[in-house]
Amino acid sequence: MNKTDRLLAIVLELQRKEVVRADDLAALFETSVRTIYRDIQALSEAGVPIIGAPGTGYSLMEGYFLPPISFTVPEAVSLLIGTEFIEQQFDDDYRVRSQAARGKIEAILPERVRNETSRVSKTMRLLISDKQVKQSKEKEYLGKIRGAILDERKISFHYTKRLTDSEGNRSSVRTVAPYGLVLIQGLWMLVARCDLRQDIRHFRLSRMTELINLGERFELPIHFNLRDYTPQDNRHLLVRLQFIHDIADKVKESNYHYIENMEKHQDGLHVVLRVRQLDELVQWVLGWGAAVIVLEPESFRNRIREEVQKMFKRY
């Protein structure tokens, strides 16, 4: 990053935050603290009202805003693709807002940049599946949950799990304090503290019904940060499979989230998966038919064999 770009970036960083330390700026822009001192001095001499407090950091004088800046073609394309993504994946409220943002961005672009941006944008396209188009209920819930998170109010819903629990139940009513939403491989997940489990749990919006926003307030824990949050990994069971060479590429392209490792061998593609329960893999393994063999554990080999025998009896 050259000096001009760094000076602009420093002002933008100061606009985003109330106070910024020189050490933090040096780490962010991968330069020395002494260089940051010189940059701050250069900005001050150029008329940018920067206030410095020893031992605290730098801040911009209240009421100062950077004049409108121009976008390069790649920057404009990035922003416009971002608005298209939001239109497809977020709820109706944000869909409308993203369309408005797209109009504002296009309006302020110089004609040359706008024309070039349009040309580049036509070479890329975001597609969503028919299944995603039909997820109107999920998008409706997305908006309600987002509002509950911002208002710090609990919600309740009926939840259906993919597998039964230790008591043989698949459905339950949950009351939770919603902490945040995460989009994983096209699926929206709610991170929340569950009153029933008295701990943080994850819930797919697609498995929710009868969602209700409650009046009960909650306080987000001071130590919780969604961007830093890493869920506890309780997948302790390893499964090893062997696929024939002919479908090795298809297995790789499946991008199955339980896959830990894949290696090519003379007898086929060896795949290692890690799961919480072996039943989580049954349908996926059966879907490959005779092209896959369970190497271990033996208990899972027996489980697949039993399912195949049941299928054989049905036919």
Whole-prediction pTM value?
0.65
Q: Which CATH architecture has domain 237-314?
A: 2-Layer Sandwich (3.30)
Question: pLDDT for 176-227, tens place per residue?
Answer: 999 999 988 778 899 999 999 899 999 999 899 999 999 899 999 998 999 8
Handedness of CA 28, 33, 38, 40 (dihedral sign): positive
Domain with CATH 1.10.10.10 in the chain: 3-60
- The confidence score (pLDDT) of residue 261 equals 93
Burial class (CB within 10 angstroms; exposed 0-12, middle 13-18, buried 19+) of 144: middle
Q: Which CATH architecture has domain 136-217?
A: Roll (2.30)
- The confidence score (pLDDT) of residue 137 equals 77
Quick one: fold of 3-60? Arc Repressor Mutant, subunit A (1.10.10)
- The confidence score (pLDDT) of residue 289 equals 93
Domain with CATH 3.30.70 in the chain: 237-314
- The confidence score (pLDDT) of residue 181 equals 93
Q: Which residues contact 49 (CB under 8 A, 6 or more apart)?
A: 60, 61, 64
DSSP string, 95-152: HHHHHHHHHHHHHHS-HHHHHHHHHHHTT------HHHHT-HHHHHHHHHHHHHHHHT
Distance CA 82, CA 105 (A): 12
Q: How many CB atoms lie within 10 A of CB 67?
A: 4
Domain with CATH 2.30.30 in the chain: 136-217
- The confidence score (pLDDT) of residue 215 equals 86
Length of the chain: 315
- The confidence score (pLDDT) of residue 284 equals 93
Low-confidence residues in the chain, pLDDT < 50 = 133-134
Distance CA 154, CA 174 (A): 10
Give how far Cα 281 sits from Cα of 185, 238, 254, 274, Å.
18, 11, 14, 10
Give how far Cα 36 sits from Cα of 62, 128, 241, Å.
21, 45, 55
Distance CA 92, CA 211 (A): 17
- The confidence score (pLDDT) of residue 133 equals 45
Distance CA 134, CA 190 (A): 20
Burial class (CB within 10 angstroms; exposed 0-12, middle 13-18, buried 19+) of 261: exposed
Distance CA 290, CA 311 (A): 13
Distance CA 15, CA 186 (A): 33
